[in-house]
Amino acid sequence: MAEQNEQYEQVIAAVLHVMQNDYAGQPECETRSNPLSLLEALGAAAGAGTLDDALFVRYVRQYLSGFQDPTLSFEVSSKADFTSVTCGFSVRRFGDELYVTAARDDKRLVPGDALVRLDGHTLDEYLTRLINNPVNGDDSERQLWNDVLPYCAHMQVRHADGAEEDLPVRTFPARGFRESLRAPTVEVVENVGPRGNELAAVITAHHFVDDSLLALLQERFADIQRADRVIIDVRDVTEGMIGNAYGLLALFFDREANLKDLMGEQFIYTRYTQLNAHLRQRQLKRLLDLSDAEGRAWVQAEIDHVAECAGAGFVKEAEFEEDMLFPPAPEHQRTFLLTDVSTSGVGERLAAIAARAAEAGCGNVQRVGRATRGSLDYSNLVSAVLTEKFSLVFPISKTEAAHEGNGTLGRGIAPDVYIPFTPAECAQDVVQQQALELP
C-alpha cells in the first residue's frame, strides 16, 4: 500500500508540474486550478486506506475537469484496476434540480424525472464536496453532471407523476468508443415554417469520425436540395475530423466561398517547453515513417522547426484553413444550425465558420439553441506517459484570442437565437421545433 501511494504521489507531482509549466492554458486558466482540494482528497483517502486506482483516476479527472477544457484527459491503460462506468441515464440542470433527459440503461427512471438531492445534499452543497468544480463551471445551464452521478451513493427522485423516492445509484459499464457512435440521419418534414407551407430536411450528425455523414448526404441529395429549410443538428457532436464535415459547408453560404479566404490567416501560440518539444517530435517521427516522399519533406521540416524552438516558451505561428471552394446553397433555401453546450470539436468549428460567414456577409446559416462548449482555444495535443498505468493528454498550442484573454473557454460560441433549457425539453425537442417554425 505504501509503495502504491508513493507512485500516486509521483504521478500527481508530474500532473501538477505539466499543468503549471507545459499546458498551453496558462496563465489564463490559473484561476481554474485548485490543486489543494485534490491533494487534500488524496491525502484523506490514503490515510483511510481507501485510495486505489479507481478512486485515484476519479479524483484526478475531477481536478482536470475544473479547467473546463475538453482537450485535457487523464488516460488509463489496461494495467490499471479501473473500469469506466455510467449511471445509465443523462441529466440536465434546471434551477436546483437535475432533470432526466434520457434513460438508456436505468429503467427505474424516465425523461422528466427530477433528481432533487444527491446523497442528501442540494446540488450546490454536493458540488462543494467535489474537487475543483468538475461540472463545467458555475452557470447552471452549462453544467455537465453525467460524469459525476455514477459516484453518488443515492439520489432523491421526484418522478414525472409527482411521486418521490430515494433510490440507490446504479452503475453500468461504459460503452466503448465505436459502440457509442450513432449513425447520422436525414428526415424530411412537411408543412413547417411560420406559414406551415415549407418543406424541411433535418440532418442530425452525432459525430464526424468517418465519412458516414457524407455518404448519407450523397444518398439524400435530392431531398436536401428541394427543401426550403435545412436543419443541421450538431448538438451532441464532440468527435471527428473537419474533413468529414465539409459536405455540410455547401449549405452554409449564399455565394461561392473559399474557406481559406473566409477564415483568413490565423495565429496560434505554441508552448515549446523542452517536454513539449520532445513529445511533439516523437509524434512527428511516427508520422514520418508513414508518409510518402512529399509528405516526408514537410514532416521533416516540422521536426527541424520544433528542434529550433525547444525551450523558447510560447512561439507565435501562422495557420490556415484548407484552400477549398464551396458552392452556394440553393437560392430558395435557408439553413439552421442547432448547437448546445455539448457541441465541441468539429461541431463547434462549424459554428465558428457559420459565425465568420455571417460577419463576412456571405452566411446562409442561422445558429439556434445554446452556446457551444468552448473547445476551440487549445490544440496540438500531446501525450505524456507518466507510468505504465497513466498518461496525461494536454494541448501545447492556443489561439491568438485565448492568448489575449478573449477565447471561448467557459462561454462557447453564442447562437443567433437563444432558447433556454426548460424541463419541457425532456418530452419534446423544443430547439428543433423552433428551428422548424422560425421566420
Higher pLDDT, 3 or 115: 115
pLDDT for the residue 290: 86
pLDDT for the residue 293: 82
Q: Find the DSSP H helices in 199-292.
A: 212-219, 221-226, 259-263, 274-290
First to last CA, the chain: 65
pLDDT for the residue 3: 85
Give the whole-number percent of the chain exceeding pLDDT 90.
94
| Cell 427543401 belongs to residue | 227
Specify the DSSP class assigned to residue 137: S
Residue 382 main-chain phi, psi, to 5 deg: -130, 160
Cell matching residue 150: 455514477
Higher pLDDT, 119 or 3: 119
CATH of region 178-255+328-376+413-437: 3.90.226.10
pLDDT for the residue 37: 94
Cβ count within 10 A of residue 406 = 11
Report DSSP letters for 405-432, one per residue.
T---TTT----SEE----GGGGTS-HHH
Specify the DSSP class assigned to residue 232: E
Buried b (16+ CB within 10 A) or exposed e, 6-37: eebeebbebbeebbeebbbbeebbeebbebeb
Tens digit of pLDDT for each residue in 377-417? Answer: 999 999 999 999 999 999 999 999 999 999 999 999 999 99
Whole-structure pTM value: 0.96
Distance CA 274, CA 388 (A): 22
- pLDDT above 90 for 177: no
- State the amino acid at position 332 in one-letter form: H
181 φ/ψ sector (left φ>0, alpha ψ -120 to 50, else beta): beta
The pLDDT of 31-49, averaged and rounded, is: 95
pLDDT for the residue 381: 98
pLDDT for the residue 2: 78
Report DSSP letters for 367-382, one per residue.
EEES------SEEEEE
Q: How far lies 63's CA from each of 22, 132, 385, in Å?
A: 17, 5, 18
The CA-based dihedral angle spanning residues 94, 59, 375, 373, taken in that order and rounded to the nearest 10 degrees: 0
pLDDT for the residue 295: 85
pLDDT for the residue 150: 98
Tens digit of pLDDT for each residue in 186-242? Answer: 999 999 999 999 999 999 999 999 999 999 999 999 999 999 999 999 999 998 999
pLDDT for the residue 229: 98
CATH of region 85-173: 2.30.42.10
Tens digit of pLDDT for each residue in 248-262? Answer: 999 999 999 999 999
Of 85, 78, 68, which is closest to residue 29 (Cα–Cα)? 68
Could you tell me the residue ranges of all domains in the chain? 2-84+384-391, 85-173, 178-255+328-376+413-437
- pLDDT above 90 for 100: yes
Tens digit of pLDDT for each residue in 279-320? Answer: 999 999 999 888 888 889 999 999 999 999 999 999 999 998
pLDDT for the residue 398: 98
Dihedral angle sign, alpha carbons of residues 313, 316, 322, 326: positive
Mean pLDDT estimate for the chain: 96
Higher pLDDT, 67 or 178: 67
The pLDDT of 334-339, averaged and rounded, is: 98
- Beta-carbon contacts of residue 268 (< 8 Å; ≥ 6 apart): 316, 317, 319, 379, 380, 397, 398, 399, 400
Which H or E element spans position 261?
Answer: helix 259-263
Residue 348 main-chain phi, psi, to 5 deg: -75, -30
Distance CA 161, CA 150 (A): 24
| Contact present, 290 and 268 (Cβ < 8 Å) | no
pLDDT for the residue 252: 98
Give the whole-number percent of the chain exceeding pLDDT 70.
100
